[in-house]
Amino acid sequence: MVFYIIIINLIAFSAFAIDKYKARRSKWRISENTLLLLATIGGSIGAYTAMKTFRHKTRHKKFTILIPLLIIVHIALVIYAKVNL
């Protein structure tokens, strides 16, 4: 489980970084749905870190609200799993 969390957060962070890079160069972008999916399946901390690091998607309400909520949900799930396993 720890390995998965590390990998998915690295992938999410990288996807946000790549999308920011492409946005600056007016190139093909990674879809918002893909970025949100990566955050939803466990990459919320990586997504949030990338948002703050690269100042990317910080004006989009769905990112500024959903990503922090996903972090809370993911932390709660990890705590629940640790207590019940």
Within 10 Å of residue 55's Cβ, how many Cβ atoms? 10
- Contact indicator for 29, 35 with CB cutoff of 8 Å: no
Res 12: pLDDT: 98
- pTM (whole model) above 0.75: yes
* 18 contact partners, CB below 8 Å, separation of at least 6: 30
How much of the chain exceeds pLDDT 90, in percent? 95
Angle among Cα 53, 28, 39 to the nearest 5 degrees reads 45
